[in-house]
Amino acid sequence: MPEPLPAQPADSQMLTVQDLEVRYGTTQVIWGISMAVATGKVTCIIGSNGAGKTTTLNSIAGILPAKGGKILLNGEDITSLSPQERVKRHISLVPEGRQLWPGMSVEENLLMGCFLPALRKKSHPGLERIYTLFPRLRERRRQTAGTLSGGEQQMCAIGRGLMSEPQLLMLDEPSLGLAPILVDEIFELIANIARQGMTILLVGQNVNYTLQVSHYGYVMETGKITLEGPSEMLFHNDYVRHAYLGVAHPSAPA
């Protein structure tokens, strides 16, 4: 179990989402949500499958267009920018399911994270930083990504995301499909990255871990934000504990 992150002083908001609406064709899936991510902190979105968490991250990354509302990064309106332009502004998304190139080596996958010309010049020191953070990837650097364990693949995916030198790192379900012992390891790695000052927006169904490694959280249900607050407060909220942590509701019979 990773150690809880220390409380941090109030800081500026790196990312602000205002009344965001997203549709798949004619089907609306995000309904006017507003949220903020503070610089140097870990902000999380929790909720069940189909709540709209991944859609929200994909919209912030520019993969899905916003049909309404605004997305501001350090005060700049990036709502209409392409995904590539958002990467240039140091937004990095580590997608659900890792999405590595299985036939390419670990190192080749990592290098795909610095495909922009300005980043290619920094690829060698970037690799060294990743290998220092994830020593196991150094050991596996010539191994094809498809032969890695689930935990190692997730490390590789996070490492690839860090190769783009993000100011905002978005992690979508980083513990999905991992054995419990590996879940603990991945969240400890996330906490370690956060302690170095990285601003993180974390989406997770593992609510217990997600709230422990974050400072502030949003509960999303059917495309809407239904609850928000400091992560410690959400962790002790009766509704969250009943709905997402499997704790019996205090009014339920013994």
Question: pLDDT tens for residues 186-234?
Answer: 999 999 999 999 999 999 888 999 999 999 999 999 999 999 999 999 9
Average pLDDT, the chain: 91
pLDDT (0 to 100) of residue 118: 79
Instruction: Evaluate if residue 7 carries a pLDDT over 50.
Output: no
Domain spans in the chain, listed from the N-terminal domain onward: 11-90+168-173+202-247
- List Cβ neighbours of 3 (8 Å cut-off, separation of 6 or more): 191
Higher pLDDT, 117 or 83: 83
Phi, psi at 172, each rounded to 5°: -105, 110
Contact 163, 114 (CB under 8 A): yes
What is the average pLDDT across 106-125? 88
Which pTM value belongs to this model?
0.90
Instruction: Evaluate if residue 1 carries a pLDDT over 80.
Output: no
Contact 222, 51 (CB under 8 A): yes
Percent of the chain with pLDDT over 70: 93
Q: Which of 69, 91, 88, 83 is nearest to 15 (CA)?
A: 91
User: Using CA atoms, how far apart are residues 244 and 238, in angstroms rounded to an integer?
Assistant: 10
Helices (H), ranges, the chain: 53-61, 83-88, 106-111, 117-120, 123-133, 135-139, 150-162, 180-195, 207-212, 231-235, 238-244
User: Using CA atoms, how far apart are residues 90 and 88, in angstroms rounded to an integer?
Assistant: 5
Taking each helix axis from N to C end, the angle separating 180-195 and 123-133, rounded to the nearest 10 degrees, works out to 130
What is the average pLDDT across 92-120? 90
CATH topology of domain 11-90+168-173+202-247: Rossmann fold (3.40.50)
